[in-house]
Structure 1
Amino acid sequence: MPWIQIKINTTGADAECLSDALMENGAVSVTFQDTHDNPVFEPLPGETRLWGDTDVIGLFEADIDVAAVIEALSGHPLLGKGFHHKIEQLEDKDWEREWMDNFHPMRFGERLWICPSWRPVPDADAVNVMLDPGLAFGTGTHPTTALCLQWLDGLDLEGKTVIDFGCGSGILAIAALKLGAARAIGIDIDPQAIQASRDNAQRNGVEDRLDLYLSHEKPDDLSADVVVANILAGPLRELAPLISTLPGPGGFLGLSGILASQAENVEAAYADTFSLDPVAEKEEWCRITGRR
């Protein structure tokens, strides 16, 4: 069915209140969008971080009386008569099919491909990880995941043990196993991530070489030849005393989920333990690597 959306420009402070007003007047969903397309990073637990200039977008069924909705909203104390808004009609689409059509196999480094199950594998002789987007973060489309995959592809992982700290979908651990690692260990705080990693490992035939732990259940004596952590700058700094102990002597460390502007502070948390490489950047995100 077709849809109508009403977009109201407001401030972050007023967005939640206007969201409630849209829902009270028949919106089936409401989303917030930064007017200037500026992303917000690292909200506090349970916090909905909003922008200084925010578009509040209400989605309505096409048969809604738009004039009546606008009239009702005009009586809201934050809006008033003649408030700035935009009305748009959305064409009806098979959104799932359109989304699937735009998801293609992606190559990382020299050998590695990440392939959705509904697409043919481009190179049967390459290292192919079959992975469909799901409940947990990590498909290769985000620059931080791409940076980590490229780094893993460039390492000699043959016979090595790899820890994926904050494993999400399991994409990094599974890629490491397919690239020759003998064993991988995935750690995450989210039970859905553990389940997603387990399912993806089974799909790729590596479940017997992947151990998965919720963070509070991991063994105390974990150690690996390679440790990769694609999370966020804040947790990477806070968890540096723990993460730094995971690579064995001469072990490799790869960190991502970091904005380029945050790299210096994260580097400082690891510089005493690791010999760090030059920072790699991709679309304002970066990767920090080093050797213990």
Structure 2
Amino acid sequence: MDYLEFKIKCKEDFREILIAELAEIGFDSFLETEEGIDAYALESELDRDAFNQTIESYREAGEIILTEGIMPKVNWNEEWEKNYDPIAVDDLVYVRASFHESQPGFRHEIVINPKMSFGTGHHATTYQVLRLQGEIDHQGKRVLDVGSGTGILAIMAHLLGAKEVEAFDIDDWCVDNGNENFDLNGLSTRMGLGTIRQVNPQGPFDIVLANINKNVLLDEMKIYASLLIPQGYLLLSGFYTQDIEDLVAAATPFGLKLIQSSDKDNWAALILQKD
């Protein structure tokens, strides 16, 4: 069956938001381009009304220009090879696909074959959380990765010495891809499927990672706090710098205090610590 192809020109800040929202309404494949994203969905799986509403809600702010077409099935691995470049987070970690060569000079290396998932380290949110992870002692710790995507943050926790890493995502295609990436990087853990309430992870955890979006973070803040040990760390990202105040205000009643923040391309990341 042929795929519907949507070429979406947009501001860079809106790429990951659009991918996240489109993934929930029938889209199963994405490619980031120089001008925005290409998104693909089987016509039978696409919720057209929801798609139109999503595009309209971001059209003005994201300066969206949309082109629709039809394309036959493609070799997604080949497409990723054309469009996916390695990244380096300082000298902390080199993130590459399996078809790239290793590079010396980094403390750690992560191999990610993203396929139809996102979270490769290229986006400012993922990049910042990887960097912040490097500043926290993971040795012998229990770590929870909420909305794991490709599994990149869970893999980073493993490389930093965590004794136990639990991860889950709401999309089955992320779970499949994440487990493949876990295998590539020597993790024995398996990614769960569902929301945090459905998966019901059993705390306590020393570190909780949540790179999702503002609304989900606000809704689940109480749960994150309840899963942390005293003095445990919560790393948050997936929101804009202007949203920091709202996130900190939501976290404070649950005994979480801000100890560090960062920003990149107007996206923010936070480290909070539980009393």
Q: TM-score range by the shorter chain?
A: 0.7 to 0.9
- Distance, in Å, in 2 between the alignment partners of 1:54 and 1:102 is 21
Identity %: 25
Aligned residue number for residue 9 of structure 2: 33
8 Å contact from structure 2 (residues 13, 265) kept in 1? no
Letter of the structure 2 residue corresponding to residue 33 of structure 1: K
1:135 matched to 2:145:
no
**Which of these residues, 267, 271, 276, is aligned with residue 252 of structure 2?**
271
Q: Which residue, out of 140, 156, 159, partners 1:178?
A: 159
Change (3 A) 1:117 1:225: same
SS in 2 for 1:234: helix
Q: 1:203 aligns with which of 184, 193, 196?
A: 184
- Alignment of 1:226 onto 2:207: yes
Alignment of structure 1 residues 78-117 onto 2, 5 Å: 100-101=81-82, 103-117=84-98
Conservation of the 8 A alpha-carbon contact between 1:194 and 1:214 = no
CA spacing shift, 1:188–1:287, aligned 2, 3 Å: same
What is the CA-CA distance between 1:59 and the residue it aligns to? 5.3
RMSD after superposition: 3.0
Which residues of structure 2 form unaligned runs of 5+? Answer: 25-49
CA distance in structure 1 between the partners assigned to 2:13 and 2:141 by the alignment: 40
Instruction: Compute the displacement of 1:178 (Å).
Output: 1.2
| Cα-to-partner distance string for 1:26-67 (whole Å, 9 max, x where unaligned) | xx8554435x77738576964423214653435599xxxxxx
Q: TM-score, normalised by structure 2?
A: 0.73
Corresponding residue number in structure 1 for 2:102: 121
Instruction: Name the structure 1 match of 2:55.
Output: 49
Does the CA-based 8 Å contact 1:109-1:154 persist in structure 2? no
- Aligned with 1:214 (options 194, 202, 208): 194
1:147 aligned counterpart, secondary structure:
helix
> Where does structure 1 lack aligned partners over 5 or more consecutive residues?
1-27, 62-93
Alignment match, 2:273: 291
Q: Between Structure 1 and Structure 2, how many residues are aligned?
A: 231
Alpha-carbon distance between aligned partners in 2 of 1:247 and 1:169, rounded to the nearest angstrom: 23
Secondary structure (helix, strand or coil) at the match of 1:140 reads: coil
In the alignment, structure 1 residue 280 sits paired with structure 2 residue 262: yes
Residues 209-229 of structure 1: CA deviation (Å, up to 9, x unaligned): 456353354245322111110
Larger Rg: 1
Q: Which of 110, 119, 137 is 1:156 aligned to?
A: 137
Partner residue, 1:238? 219
Residue identity matched to 2:14: P
CA distance in 2 between counterparts of 1:218 and 1:149 reads: 24
How far off its partner does 1:136 sit?
Answer: 1.9
Distance 1:249 1:49, change over 3 A: same
Deviation at residue 168 of structure 1 after TM alignment: 0.8
| Structure with the higher helix share, 1 or 2 | 2
**2:33 alignment partner in structure 1:** none
- Residues 184, 210 of structure 1: 8 Å contact kept: no
Letter in 1 for 2:54: T
State the TM-score, normalized to the length of structure 1. 0.69
In structure 1, C-alpha distance between the alignment counterparts of 2:84 and 2:13, rounded to whole Å: 24
What SS is found at the alignment partner of 1:286?
strand
User: What letter matches 1:39 in structure 2?
Assistant: F
